[in-house]
Amino acid sequence: MHAYDFILILLSFVYAAAVVHLLSTAGEIIIASKRITLSWFNAGWMLAALLFTCAWWIGLWDLHTLKIWDIGSIAFYFSMAAGIYLQARLVSPRIPEKGEINLQEFHREEGRKYLIAYTILGVVTVITNAMLGGTSDASQWPAQNLVIVPMTLATGVAAIFIKQPWVQGLALAIQIGGWIWYFAALQTALAG
C-alpha cells in the first residue's frame, strides 16, 4: 500500500462523515417538513457545504503522485478535513422529533458561525491552491482560484450581512454558480 492510499483512507472517513451528516440532516428536514419553516438560505449553504466537501475529496486525487508524506502534510490535510466536517456540522440544524422548527431563525442566529467557518476554509483553499499548484502535478489548482476567490469573498460578505436577504441571495448565487463552473471544468479535465 502506497502512503497516499493509507492517508486517503483516513481522510475519506472524515469527508464521508461530513457528507453523511449533511445528507442525514436533509433527510430529517424532509421527514419533518410539515413542522418546519424552511430557509432557502440555510438549504443553499448546506448544498454549498456538500459541494465544498466533495471538491476537496476529489481534489486529493492530484496528490497521488507524491512519494513522501511528512507529518506536517498529513496534519494539514487532516486538519482541513476536520474543519470541513465541523463546518458541515455547523450548517446542519438539529431536527428534534417534536415541535415546530424555524430554519429561517436558525440561519439568522447561527448563520454567521457557519459562514465564517466556510470563509476561513475558503481562504485556506486559495492559499493551498496557490502553493501546491506550482510544486506538484496539480497544475489546475491555481486556476481554480479564479472561482474560489469570488466564492470566498461572497461568503465573507454574507457572514457580515447575515440579516440582509439580498446579500444572502447574491452570495449563494455566486457560490452555486462557482460550483457549477468548478464541476463542469473538472468534467472537461477528466474527459480530456
- Rounded mean pLDDT, 32-50: 96
pLDDT at 186: 78
pLDDT at 6: 82
CA dihedral 40, 37, 19, 135 (to 10 degrees): 30
- Position 141 pLDDT exceeds 70: no
pLDDT, tens digit (0-9, with 9 covering 90-100), for 143-192? 688 889 999 999 999 999 999 999 999 999 999 999 999 888 878 777 76
Q: At what angle do helices 40-59 and 3-31 cross, to 10 degrees?
A: 160
- Position 139 pLDDT exceeds 60: no
Mean pLDDT of the chain: 90
pLDDT-above-90 percentage for the chain = 68
58-62, 135-139, 162-166: segment of lowest average pLDDT: 135-139
CA distances from 86 to 25, 144, 148, 186, 189 (A): 14, 23, 20, 26, 30
Q: What is the DSSP string of 137-156?
A: S-TTHHHHHHHHHHHHHHHH
Quick check: 89 and 21 in contact, CB under 8 A?
yes
Strands (E), 94-146: 101-102
Domain ranges of the chain: 3-191
The pLDDT-based confidence of 114 (bands split at 50, 70, 90) is very high
What's this model's pTM, rounded to 2 decimal places?
A: 0.91
- Position 70 pLDDT exceeds 70: yes
> What are 46's three cell numbers?
448546506
